Amino acid sequence: MQVGFIGLGLMGAPMARHLLHAGHHLHLWARRPATLVPFADTGAVIHQSPAEMAATVDVVFTMVADGPDVEQVLLGPRGIVEGAHPGLVVVDMSTIAPAIARDLNTRLAAHDIAFLDAPVSGGERGAREATLTIMVGGAADIFERIRPLFSLMGKSVSLIGPAGAGQVAKACNQILTGVGVMALAEALNFARTSGVDPANVRQALLGGFAYSRILENHGQRMLDRDFTPGFKAWMHQKDLRIVLEEAQRMGLMLPSTATTAQALNALVGSGHGEDDSIALIRLLERMGEAWV
């Protein structure tokens, strides 16, 4: 299959490689030429614009930072719609607002372009190991057509509902993971400040009802002081901003999410936006020291 990919960042690059290694003909475009360098000797076709790419592929995947970036790539000057042929499928795997995903679906349909919103969870490691969780919104027949490609990038692939439903599921994921990381940071910092070895506390909690993947994986990384980004703090900040904007639009109260979002604002504002979001424990430690 002729497959296009736009967005070769921390996660997009390994996702694109999985498609290439499976034997698909990979087509690429990037705003930053440096991200194309690792693909120079792979046989991937490099295009000068999204429009040029759209004319030659069966499906285009996008994995960019935010809603405006997706809109620019799809509908901006020299964007996908300018070169698209009828029946082209666009799959946006970015994390954007559900309302934007629904709007993109409507606008692309007017050009006879099918659209799926398919945000992912699993971070850089999941992208590298093709173990991502992929949450999809869109038409069932289009989903089934693209499912074999999804299976090359993730181990859990689910059709959640119509356009925008994938982004709603991702928002729920970010609520749970964001609040979970914050709770874990609070717990380990509480143990340390109480004079108890947080490693021993974590080990005990792993055997009880408090067990979670966050406690197991992120807890060990907090203890190891390993803040290498698997999911950067500024990205989690952006995702919770989307959640809270949607909540405001719907008149919903999300108090734990709001508190976590404020903590991420402070973490990013203090210069740790490029660290993994588990660096929230650093923020709590510094706040505690400020009161001593």
32: domain CATH number is 3.40.50.720
Provide CB contacts within 8 A for 75, sequence distance 6+.
Answer: 81, 104, 107
Judgement on whether residues 145 and 209 belong to the same structural domain of the protein: no
Judgement on whether residues 172 and 267 belong to the same structural domain of the protein: yes
Judgement on whether residues 271 and 225 belong to the same structural domain of the protein: yes
Distance of CA 29 to the CA centre of its chain: 19
Judgement on whether residues 37 and 77 belong to the same structural domain of the protein: yes
Q: Which of 135, 162, 189 is the last residue of a domain?
A: 162
Distance CA 267, CA 277 (A): 8
Alpha carbon separation from 48 to 30, 53, 111 (Å, rounded): 8, 8, 22
Q: What is the pTM of this model?
A: 0.92
Judgement on whether residues 157 and 179 belong to the same structural domain of the protein: no
Judgement on whether residues 141 and 217 belong to the same structural domain of the protein: no
Judgement on whether residues 90 and 210 belong to the same structural domain of the protein: no
Q: Which of 162, 194, 225 is the last residue of a domain?
A: 162
Q: Which of 132, 162, 192 is the last residue of a domain?
A: 162
Residue 168 has a pLDDT of 98
Judgement on whether residues 199 and 101 belong to the same structural domain of the protein: no
Per-residue pLDDT of the chain (292 residues; tens, 9 = 90+): 999 999 999 899 999 999 999 999 999 999 998 999 999 999 999 999 999 999 999 999 999 989 999 999 999 999 999 999 999 999 999 999 999 999 999 999 999 999 999 999 998 899 999 999 999 999 999 999 999 999 999 999 999 999 999 999 999 999 999 999 999 999 999 999 999 999 999 999 999 999 999 999 999 999 999 999 988 999 999 999 999 999 999 999 999 999 999 999 999 999 999 999 999 999 999 987 755 3
Q: Where are the beta strands (DSSP E) in 147-221?
A: 154-161
CA angle 13, 19, 20 (to 5 degrees): 85
Judgement on whether residues 103 and 199 belong to the same structural domain of the protein: no
User: Is the alpha carbon torsion for 276, 119, 23, 54 positive or negative?
Assistant: negative
Residues 127 and 155 sit within 8 Å (Cβ to Cβ)? no
Judgement on whether residues 158 and 177 belong to the same structural domain of the protein: no
Distance CA 85, CA 247 (A): 37
Judgement on whether residues 145 and 46 belong to the same structural domain of the protein: yes
Range of the domain at 112: 2-162
Judgement on whether residues 115 and 176 belong to the same structural domain of the protein: no
Q: Catalytic positions, please? A: 170
Q: How many domains does the chain have?
A: 2
CATH number for the domain spanning 256: value is 1.10.1040.10
